[in-house]
Amino acid sequence: MGVETRESLGALSPWSPEFLAAIVESSDDAIIGKTLDGTIISWNRGAERIYGYRPEEAIGRNISILVPADHTDELAPIFERLRRGERVDHYQTVRVHKDGKRIAISVTISPVRDEQGKIIGASAVGRDITAQHEATKEALRMREEFISIAAHELRTPLATVFARLQLAERHLARPEIDMAAVLRDVVLVRQSADRLRLLVDRLLDISHISSGRLELEKVDTDVADLVRSVSSAFAETSGHAIRVNAPQPPEATRASLDAVRIDEVITNLLDNALKYGGPGDPIDVDVRADGAEVSFAVRDRGPGIAPDQRERIFQPFERGDTKAPGVGLGLHVAREIVLLHGGTIALEAPPDGGARFVVTLPKDGARS
């Protein structure tokens, strides 16, 4: 309700017919008066905004002009209930705009009585809930997509674990145990278990982020040393070469941060580089400190990321390549953790190809 409308209402006597009419006219909801045969007799600005008809175009016509062909059977039961004096509360249905566009509507319809209590018509208050419907449909789509991807991602390492444990069981049952074969099976089981753990951790993080329950426990940390440690462990597990460049002294790259969570950010970025980078090309990680900030960058030499995808890849369940493994949570979780630290994460496109993710964090953690 605008300032002019409020001033106009203030000039009217409270609860006078003019005052009540002004409230109806200024409502954002569609408020429509109609007779018991469906003839429209009043039409406010909200109705014009939602349905597109001007008052002179709607008044005198039947309410059926708003009902799509596949919903015409709704009207008779509604009018029958109104004639019995019943009210229809928050009825969700579909109506049609003047231009033919379908609109999701929540409508409450009440019988209108005269001074003797006789039902002479009805009033309908409708609210456009198209946006809510679309949001719900998108949430359901994302849920189904997530279930499908997560089921696939869980099934793959579980199948490996089961198969390798069967092989290890056979090897151990032989009179002469082939320890090299058993060790190979155990290593593959551990790697698959690591994949399962990473997926479960990301799912838990998404839950905590969504509910605002992801808390940080900051301590003074040497970021360069943390990057070296995480990169070394990741290289050993993945078998992929990782080069860390951190030329500055330890006192320059210290920052107040949650080392466990930043470990997760580094791991997610390395995992992303491993999936999308060239199989024989090393992953490069640079650590730099500048004044009150410290940053680290993870660079791969894969095909890079198209400009129109560079923001979307940070959304949950988005993947740059749908054929690549993963549920599309790593970059989203990484960004949320960085933002909680008061930092930034940026994607660069090096001239010679690949992708470079740069994380910048405040040294004192004051911006979080």
Look at residue 202 in the predicted model and tell me its pLDDT.
Answer: 67
In order of 35, 144, 148, 190, 306, the CA distances from 155 in angstroms are 61, 16, 11, 15, 30
In the sheet that 344-348 helps form, which strands lie side by side, from edge to edge?
242-245, 283-290, 293-299, 356-362, 344-348
- What pLDDT is recorded for position 299? 95
* Closest C-alpha among 195, 338, 154 to residue 357: 338
* C-alpha dihedral (113, 116, 118, 124), degrees to nearest 10: 0
Residue spans in the chain of domains classed CATH 1.10.287.130? 135-211
C-beta of residue 297 within 8 angstroms of C-beta of residue 359: yes
Q: Which CATH superfamily is domain 3-128 in?
A: PAS domain (3.30.450.20)
User: By the 8 A CB rule, do 135 and 115 touch?
Assistant: no
What are the residue ranges of CATH 3.30.450.20 in the chain?
3-128
Q: Tens-digit pLDDT profile for the chain (368 aa)?
A: 444 444 554 555 555 667 667 777 778 899 999 999 999 999 999 999 999 999 999 999 999 999 999 999 999 999 999 999 999 999 999 999 999 999 999 999 999 999 899 999 999 999 999 999 888 888 777 677 666 656 655 666 677 777 778 888 888 888 888 888 888 888 878 877 877 777 677 667 766 776 677 788 899 999 999 999 999 988 887 888 999 999 999 899 999 998 988 988 998 899 889 888 877 789 999 999 998 999 999 999 888 888 888 888 888 766 655 455 555 678 888 898 999 999 999 999 999 889 999 999 999 875 54
Q: CA-CA distance, 73 to 353, in Å (whole number)?
A: 60
Q: Which residues of 206-223 are buried (b: 16+ CB within 10 A; e: fewer)?
A: beebeeeebeeebeebbb
Residues in the chain: 368
The correct CATH number of 219-362 out of 3.30.565.10, 3.90.1150.140, 3.40.50.150, 3.30.360.10 is 3.30.565.10
* Contact (CB, 8 A) for 365 and 258: no
Distance, first Cα to last Cα, the chain? 37
3-class secondary structure, 225: helix
pTM surpassing 0.85? no
Backbone angles phi, psi at 154, to 5 degrees: -75, -40
**Under 8 Å between Cβ of 128 and 115:** no
Q: Is 30 exposed, middle or buried, given 0-12, 13-18 or 19+ CB atoms closer than 10 A?
A: buried
Amino acid at residue number 36: L
Q: How far apart are CA 231 and CA 325, in angstroms?
A: 20
Amino acid 276: pLDDT = 83
Digit-coded pLDDT (tens) for 200-256: 776 677 667 766 777 888 999 999 999 999 999 888 878 889 999 999 998 999 999
Query: Into which CATH architecture does domain 135-211 fall?
Result: Orthogonal Bundle (1.10)
Q: Where are the beta strands (DSSP E) in 53-166?
A: 88-96, 102-113, 119-128
- Residues forming CATH 3.30.565.10 domain(s) in the chain: 219-362
